[in-house]
Amino acid sequence: MFGWRGRIGLIVPSSDGTCEAEFANNCPDGVAVHSSRIFLEDGVVDADSLEGMNDGIDRSAELLATVEPDVIAYACTTGSLVEGVGYERSIEDRIAETADVPSVATAASIKRAFDALEATSIAVATPYVDDLNAREREFLEDSGYVVVDVDGLGLETDTEFGRQSPETAYRQARALDHADADCVFISCTGYHTAPIVEPLEADLGKPVVTSNQATLWDALRTMGVDDAEVSLGTLFEH
């Protein structure tokens, strides 16, 4: 049986071609991933589109509930922080109430990851435009973290995010090697980052958190699967 150890229900933006693969390729043996999509018009990632996309959360949660998952993960970073601190928890509560299973949302998962790593100062790499970078900085600072730097690629669509190579993410994050940053955070579930987490940690000498890595870690922890064999960096030692 697929998912004999546990099942993750995954909600992703309709134009995201990265998150499902990173989850499936990095799950421990016996954990299955079942996904549902929420419509992101034209794949444009901006505040208005993200807020409109989230109108589809309830329906996606209803659909995923029929496969009887152990947890549902809402996998979109800016989609879960676009309305500020507290919005991420409201999404988790909304999904949990609709599907009657525990839920995690990426913007909440990254904070749990920072706290597990005892990271209070963060350097942030994103593929986003300036407005979303500013919203992310505000969200993190309002959550109590020190943001030492934010660098964005200025890309506007999910498909553009997904076209970037892991090497692009590596170079961008490597350039954010600030001595006063406890960790580097690579934001966006559409950004392909899984292959570079461990090499980047080795080269920077500090933890690296990514949106997909943190969301997967949080989902596994929530469903009671503790597997340090997952090769996604220091976070999975916690």
Q: What percent of the chain has pLDDT over 70?
A: 99
Split at pLDDT 50, 70, 90, the class of 2 is confident
Check residue 226 and give its pLDDT: 84
Check residue 228 and give its pLDDT: 65
Q: What ranges do the domains of the chain cover?
A: 6-106+213-232, 109-210
3-state secondary structure the chain: CCCCCEEEEEEEECCCCCHHHHHHHHCCCCEEEEEEEECCHHHECCHHHHHHHHHHHHHHHHHHHCCCCCEEEECCCHHHCCCCCCHHHHHHHHHHHHHCCCEEEHHHHHHHHHHHCCCCEEEEEECCCHHHHHHHHHHHHHCCCEEEEEEECCCCEHHHHHHCCHHHHHHHHHCCCCCCCCEEEECCCCCCCHHHHHHHHHHHCCCEEEHHHHHHHHHHHHCCCCCCCCCCCHHHHC
Question: What is the residue-averaged pLDDT of the chain?
Answer: 97
pLDDT in tens, 155-164: 999 999 999 9
Q: Which CATH number fits domain 109-210: 3.40.640.10, 2.60.40.4070, 3.30.1540.10, 3.40.50.1860?
A: 3.40.50.1860
pLDDT in tens, 36-95: 999 999 999 999 999 999 999 999 999 999 999 999 999 999 999 999 999 999 999 999
Shared fold status for 6-106+213-232 and 109-210:
yes
Check pLDDT > 70 for residue 119: yes
Check residue 229 and give its pLDDT: 76
Check pLDDT > 90 for residue 171: yes
What is the CATH architecture of 6-106+213-232? Answer: 3-Layer(aba) Sandwich (3.40)
- 0.85 exceeded by the pTM? yes
